[in-house]
Structure 1
């Protein structure tokens, strides 16, 4: 057995890679801009160059590497090592990731969805240690999720189990890139919060944020809404509360369907903390089945943006075993 494991977390903004020993102690970490617009070939070459650089720096030979795991956004087939589609990666269609990476490296390589590798990280080393029934929901630009049930990660028929972000919250709501409308992610994500804020401005409401951005709403961020809330801004208060309410109803559905003992919330939007989580928790408890909701705790993720790297390493080791 090799002595080292590589974990790759491919994001729309950054490529994050760590090299671990077999006990998952981090030996080195490297982050570089993804530059996704330059195409899949460029991105995969860059990942290979980064891995090479790290192994050389650590004086690790290829035959000492046990395996490499890669977390990749979008729809993919983990068994075939193929990525079908990634929404924020131009030209990223039917990419043979494992085949391409295996031209450079002799050790085994495995891919999985980026949120699921985050799940492996939080489950084994973060907020979910020792928990056998849990759901991780990441609230970022969109909404991602991964599910552990009875100690096993759920995949489903097409490895897309747990697309909680596309749960319908309104029969005919905001249009979604998936082709449907009214999806959960269109309301509780970063994009959702910004759209809710803009809709309320168009209704004639006012906010201190207008002064902050000089009336250029392209500069608007969920953190600004959170900061304005802390300053007592009535519109920000309305937006956060409305977001928390929809978040809570969605969480009630998650509790009823999956019966987890823990829901972990991660991603940038979750950093708003209790102002978002407390009302969401209250609604979840009120509207989910009592026995199930009493058994379920709602917590924040612990590992931040390191979860994907260690999770990818854990996942790859598991695939070999």
Structure 2
């Protein structure tokens, strides 16, 4: 097996302090930067920050948070999880990430997606009836911008461009992915435009996503493209023992799932569901370092993944516990994963 890269993702969940009271958005943002610093210190490969526009999450401008992290880190790659391209402007997205790439000495990455929430569409004046065409056209334009040459483009969702050049230029280009939740059409589109495939696996077993990985590789081949990386994004939490990790994570995850579930008609989250989710057939990677490492390694082998990003922030899980989780992920989980994969 090749050596998989291990990363982290956060949506900037607004959490609670030691006394159980809700932290301010401002303190949450500062904590996210501290978490990126810890991830860099323990040798992890990637730190991703999501974009949201709702009260549970403090990060609405991930590039600003990542720029702050760039000034305090040295090696870790910094990106989004995801940038909601449908409700943004591709030219501005490119310019922001090219700026981040320069500030971070070439460590910027962007994961583009449509997002799992829809608040940004009315907030920025977009019609949800244009959901598909917005992403298709904007992804097409962004793909051309990545070449860093003058672009001529015409569509229905923004003003046309004629021989337009954008700045700043990067030194070695920007690494770009598309986040996919499990739509075959999205997988084929990702291959057609030549992006890395980032699978958001937040429910069920990793094995059920293998057909999408196979479809991606077949599609790349049919479009005459070279092989491109496959990544996985899934939630989890690490503590010194299985029981400690589960007891720390469950209340935060329950609150988070129930808040979102109330909007989407989900049944209340339960201990029974949690036990399934942390098991072999579930999508939550929680437990002691060896437990989490074995599950990550199994997922990597099943999907042939090149990167695994652990969504370490879950609801109101306190900052100190997240820092410890990051520490264990880099110092204990990562070496075990690499040893398991090296042993075949």
- TM-score relative to the length of structure 2: 0.30
Q: Say which structure is richer in strand.
A: 1
- TM-score relative to the length of structure 1: 0.31
